[in-house]
Amino acid sequence: MTLYEEASLIVKKLTLEEKCKFCCGKDFWHLYGIEELDLPSILVCDGPHGLRKEESYQGLLLNNKTIKSTCFPTASALACSFDEKLINKMGKALGEECRKEDVAVILSPGINIKRTPLCGRNFEYFSEDPYLSGKLAAALIKGIQSKGVGASIKHFIANNQEQYRMTLDAIIDERALREIYLKGFEIAIKESNPWTVMTSYNRVNGSYCSQNKKLIRDVLRKEWGYKGVTISDWGGVNDNIESHKAGLDIEMPGYNDNYYKNMVDEVKNNNLSQQVLDESVIRIIELILKYKDGKNIPYKCNIQEHINLAQEIAENSAVLLKNEDNILPGNNKQSICIIGELAKEPVYQGLGSSKVNSVTSDNAYDAFIKNDCNISYAKGYSLRNNNIDEDLIKEAVEVAINKEIVYLFIGLPTYHEAEGYDRDNLRLPESHNILVNEIGKVNKNLVVIIQCGAPIEMPWSDIPKGILLTYMNGCRGGNATVNLLLGKKNPCGKLSETFPISIDDCLSNKYYPGKVNYQEYRESIFVGYRYFDTANILVKYPFGYGLSYSKFDYSDMKVKYLSEDSIEVSIKITNIGKLTGKEVIQIYVSCLNSKLFRPKQELKRFKKIELKPAESKIVKFILDKDCFTYFNIKTNDWQIEDGKYTINIGSSSKDIKFSTTIYKKGDNVEIPNYKKSANIYYELSKENNNISSLEFESIYGKELPISINQVYPFTINSTINDIKKIYGGDLIISMIDKKSKKFALGDKLMEINIEKSLSDFPFRLMSMITRGRISRKTVLGFVDLLNKNYIKGIIQILRNNRYF
């Protein structure tokens, strides 16, 4: 008997009330269970780059009392490894730590596309490219689930910014939706079958993702054949009945407020189908049975091995951006100057629900000492603020004089990158920029080490001889960084996202952040390198770029037809350097003379190999039909356009070593052509990139929605910020702000997070923020008060008060 069949039999024994309880969380982290039926209440936990399990209940949105676990490099670093095997090992380690703590599902990975480098949560996501994101996510999920623990791929879909994320309506044309924003999920879900899929907070084309029938029922279930559980993001349900009709299985979290009775009533009144309810409950019980079966899979949890793995990943993910005059690797015989507080207090993860209570952490300063280095140190700046301290800068410059090599650690302080709010710009604190310039004047042997979670502007990049990008590289990032700088390890990371010269060069930035409830994705499919390469925009560092202490020669490219839909491409790679090193070979495909608007090229395959000095390997790739398709909105299907295609092999999107052209027979279907109505998409350039609403409307396929920014009447989706517009609103906000800061319990970083993100929160989130102490019915009473229904509102609040 399959688990699905077993779950189906159990559902037949349940009462209507029991069925509805399964569709609502039991509490903040547990699902409902029935011990009498041997169905335990299972635990789900945060954890994109490490397990985040709460140690004790504090009534906080983000409880900072969590168990200790391994903090691996964040996804933005992890993706630069381009290493599916290594990422799979990390997945297994996450699974083992979940097993140790009896966690059934870990809420990982996050694979939203990096549409804008300003997104505050980009450190949690892999890439601007859907193929890379999907492949790496699949590797991680397979690793996690091999240990009998479920993964939850998120956030489905288009959660591409933190500002307005709870209420934003992302207006996306169908091709961009399919080729960019859904594609990574499609690859990962089809290849790894995650136990759960988490919907996002935002809306897409008019409907909240948690109640978007097209996305959940039509695409995810019917087209992709997904049979697992769909679960909301925490507090991400706008209407629980409409969500379940659309295909959502579980609303999280639970608040112990008997809210399930709403579902019971709707089933009894025939507003919610009994069949829809049963289908959801079968999937949920099957999830619980998977958890029970998973406990029979042998495992061991060796934390020290996981710490070592975190260091290995950090060493394989750092990206060497510059190495003029072979300034690197350095050695411990040199007189070394270390500058920057980040050398002692590294930023190795971001803020928000992903923040791990790391079992250990290190720093580069201590690692230099362990390597018997002759060092001098200067602080250079303070991480506590962005002020320019002239005394600290002066001290740093003086210490740097006459040293054989200077290692300057700069980057973004912790509070710059977080869940809940976006960055204002791509700039580093000005004190960091000044240090690069001033130290460069007194010592030419300058190496800059950058810690950040997403792209930054580098107006000084011509000054240092060496630049090493470490991203947020986890609990052993210090040792990993020094091993790379001293040549114990050879850098092999490649950028999984483009570093633009300026934020103004990003096409999406013209339309970001949108309005409070509305955001047009006018750039369509032209995200990241797809835009920069197509429009021939000069960038600071291109997608796929990364140097090594070794050098690799590409030769002897061959193409072999295996069948009508299958092509083998091979290339010979030789290490012509003096050190063993790793190279990431990348294949890009482009369609020549297309009737469609298309990117200049798209990543379709990649492979990472290791070579000893003078060693050669033949690397082979199989290109199938999917490598040449586009999504045809006329047929609602993936098609091949008849014509010539170029297959490019290179070490980055800009460094193409070999190319060859082939012919592909196309499908006999009508191809959408927008040259008359939206010709700008065919002729994008730096000077020609102002896409009008009419041109976007043409590819969107229907009239664009009208953005109405009205305050009255207030609803549960009105935001805290909306209160400002009413009489006495500032006073109400002040009271809310004062009350909310108490949740931080003196944690200054938590206070910053709350202050920056609270204004965009819709009222419906009040229940989640207070973990049910403000009930959902109390929120409705609060909305009534704002709408001047005073008697009704007061009665509602008094009846359901658990907080005031």
Query: Which of these, 409, 410, 408, lies nearest to 400 by C-alpha position?
Result: 408
Residue type at position 417? E
> Helix crossing, 130-145 with 84-100: angle to 10°?
40
First-to-final CA distance of the chain? 52
**Residue with structure tokens 């029922």?**
217
Cβ neighbours of residue 140 closer than 8 Å, sequence gap 6 or more? 87, 88, 90, 91, 94, 108, 109, 151
Contacts 24+ apart (CB under 8 A), 630-636: 630/175, 630/179, 630/591, 630/596, 630/598, 631/174, 631/175, 631/178, 631/179, 632/669, 632/671, 632/672, 633/174, 633/175, 633/672, 633/701, 634/669, 634/670, 634/671, 634/672, 635/669, 635/670
Cβ neighbours of residue 600 closer than 8 Å, sequence gap 6 or more? 530, 533, 534, 590
Query: Which of these, 473, 375, 403, lies nearest to 90 by C-alpha position?
Result: 473
Cβ neighbours of residue 84 closer than 8 Å, sequence gap 6 or more? 135, 136, 138, 139
Looking at 50-163, list the stretches that DSSP marks H as alpha helix, in order from N- to C-terminal side.
75-78, 84-100, 130-145
Helix, strand, coil distribution of the chain in percent, nearest 5: 35, 20, 45
The kind and range of the H/E element at 293 are helix 274-294
CA distance 482 to 490: 11
Classify burial at 742, counting beta carbons within 10 Å of its beta carbon; exposed 0-12, middle 13-18, buried 19 or more. Answer: exposed
The kind and range of the H/E element at 396 are helix 390-400
In the residue annotation, 265 being an active-site residue is answered as: no
Retrieve residue 389's tokens.
């301290």
Q: CA 736, 739, 744, 747: dihedral to nearest 10 degrees?
A: 100
CA distance 209 to 246: 9
List 46, 83, 129, 233, catalytic entry: 233
Three-state SS string over 728-778 comes to CHHHHHHHHHHHHHHHHCCCHHHHHHHHHHHHHCEHHHHHHHCCCCECHHH
Catalytic residues, by residue number, are 233
